[in-house]
Amino acid sequence: MASSTGPVLGPGLLVSVNRTSGVALNEQIESSIRDAVRAGQLAPGARLPSSRALASELGISRGVVSEAYGQLAAEGYLQSRQGAPVTVARRVSSPAPPAPTLPLLPTYAYDFHPGMPDLDGFPRDRWLRSVRAAIQRAPGSAMGHGDPRGQPELREALSDYLGRVRGTASDPEQTVMRSGFRDALALLCRWLAGRGVEQVAIEEPGAHAHRLIVEQAGMSVVPVPVDGHGLRVDALARSGASAVIVTPAHQFPTGCVLATERRAALIAWAEDEGRLIIEDDMDGELRYDGARPGALQGLAPERVVYIGSASKRLLPGLRLGWMQLPSWLTWPLVSAVTVDGGGPGAISQLALQDFITRGELDRHLRRMRQRYARRRDTLLDALAHHVPDAALSAGAGAGAAGLYEVAYLPADTDDTGWITRAGERGVGVHGLSLHHFGSPTRKGFILGFAGLSEPAIEQGIRLLAASRTRARASN
């Protein structure tokens, strides 16, 4: 019997078949043999039983085994020549043993992540209603490859919305949908790098992500200081950069608004030598103090790329972002997108269009503003009570807005040690130093309040305070 000259391939060992699994018998045999080759149980050159012998062992017809052998020979796992026994063709380099499955990000019982909205606030039923409308009504043209900029209906609705609530000068023809803010900024940075731009100015302190994306595109960053009125445009002018990333409506992390005269100076800088302003409007609608700082883009649509996303307004997991482009930049970027693909799916885009058009986004933001304002108050009260030496505002420009607050700490605070100890107690906080590129000028925490309930905020800050080791007391 052939099986005596090679490894035993029979029921219970390497090949088994299950008549009730719904998978064809030949496919079952193929999978078993592939797996055995990959696992090294069948070495190169090893002889397999004849199709007659294996069929008899398994109690199935010989044709099924022959078909499986033929398939595996075609795929390159087995060798089969007229009159010669079937053998294993080659060693398959089996994948390295799988690494232990670790979550890529730590999880905390009390996660004060500054970028996280309230995930429980996502109106699943209302979103489902919009998705249903999108699936039912989507035209065939939307279901194919479609316009590389995104669905026309959505670009229209979004331009109207942004013009209304953010004061942008929007044109649906110059709107491009991407999979979130990072995806949009990365696309733009690749284009800039391809045009020979070597340096992009960023705010100092500023969003760590801006720096990572610029650098991944092969450019370097020039940090430009921020004060209580926003970006120091005088320092920008001395930097030599030809593009800058700014957060005019709500500076990250200091929270200030770019002052009126700074806006004019920034636009003059851009218009002076055809420079580019990249506006990150991450949370422009989320203000709780009645102020409504508009988008910079409306003042100079040919010099500003406006980028926003649904992440903080609705849900990060939707991966929906948008760019409003100057007319001269639209076609170069659309060409790049036409080649590289990407961007969000048509159904998600049409769902967002329905969600905006039916007023659901406005309603959702109204609900969230009320909820976030309460959570912010809870955070400030808890800090005042448990961390009384924390100072709570960067300067004149910071107001009640966004998803986080900065708590500035005395200069002799051991902030990094404190963050580590808080993490051990299940409290996740970001240090201000993460978003400084040079030496941090002030110490502090950036505390997201939006994703936590009021009792969780109170308890989290209590635990945070309890994790402190006072530098002076321990001396």
Residues in 243-272 at the binding interface with a second copy, rule: CB under 8 A: 257, 260, 263-264, 267, 271
Residue number with CB closer to a second copy (318 or 427): 318
Structure tokens at 438: 């040079």
Distances (CA, A) of 275 to 93, 212, 272, 326, 380: 52, 21, 7, 12, 40
Residue number with CB closer to a second copy (125 or 412): 125
Residue number with CB closer to a second copy (263 or 313): 263
Binding mask 305-324 for a second copy (x = CB under 8 A): ------x---xxxxxx----
Residues 10-49 contacting a second copy, CB under 8 A? 23, 27, 30-31, 34, 38
> Smallest distance from the beta carbon of 67 to a second copy, in angstroms?
9
Q: Residue type for 277, please?
A: I
Residue number with CB closer to a second copy (209 or 365): 209
Binding mask 218-247 for a second copy (x = CB under 8 A): x-----------------------------
Binding mask 427-446 for a second copy (x = CB under 8 A): --------------------
Cβ–Cβ < 8 Å for 204, 438:
yes
> Smallest distance from the beta carbon of 284 to a second copy, in angstroms?
12
Q: Residue type for 430, please?
A: H
Residues 270-299 contacting a second copy, CB under 8 A? 271, 291-294, 296, 298-299
Q: Which of 326, 321, 311, 312 is nearest to 342 (CA)?
A: 321
Residue 300 makes contact with a second copy by CB under 8 A: yes
Query: Looking at residue 398, what DSSP letter applies?
Result: -
Binding mask 388-417 for a second copy (x = CB under 8 A): ------------------------------
Exposed, middle or buried, 434 (CB in 10 Å: 0-12/13-18/19+)?
A: middle
Q: Which of 20, 10, 77, 16 is nearest to 50 (CA)?
A: 10
Going by C-beta distance under 8 Å and a sequence separation of 6 or more, which residues neighbour residue 164?
none
Cross-strand bridge partners of residue 227: 230
Binding mask 128-147 for a second copy (x = CB under 8 A): x--xx--xx-x-x-xxxxxx
Residue number with CB closer to a second copy (98 or 455): 98
Distances (CA, A) of 38 to 10, 49, 78, 142: 18, 18, 12, 42
Residue number with CB closer to a second copy (57 or 285): 285
> Smallest distance from the beta carbon of 86 to a second copy, in angstroms?
13
Exposed, middle or buried, 199 (CB in 10 Å: 0-12/13-18/19+)?
A: middle
Site size toward a second copy, by CB under 8 A = 108
Angle (CA) 85 41 53, round 5°: 35
Residues 67-126 contacting a second copy, CB under 8 A? 71, 73-77, 89-90, 92-96, 98-99, 101, 103-105, 115-116, 119-120, 122, 124
> Smallest distance from the beta carbon of 315 to a second copy, in angstroms?
5
139-169 b/e with 16+ CB inside 10 Å = b? eeebeeebbbbbbbbbbbbbbebbbebbbbb
Phi, psi (5° rounding) for residue 235? -70, -35
Residues 149-208 contacting a second copy, CB under 8 A? 149, 163-164, 167, 169, 171, 173-174, 178-183, 186, 190, 194
Residues 325-384 contacting a second copy, CB under 8 A? 326-328, 334, 336, 338-348
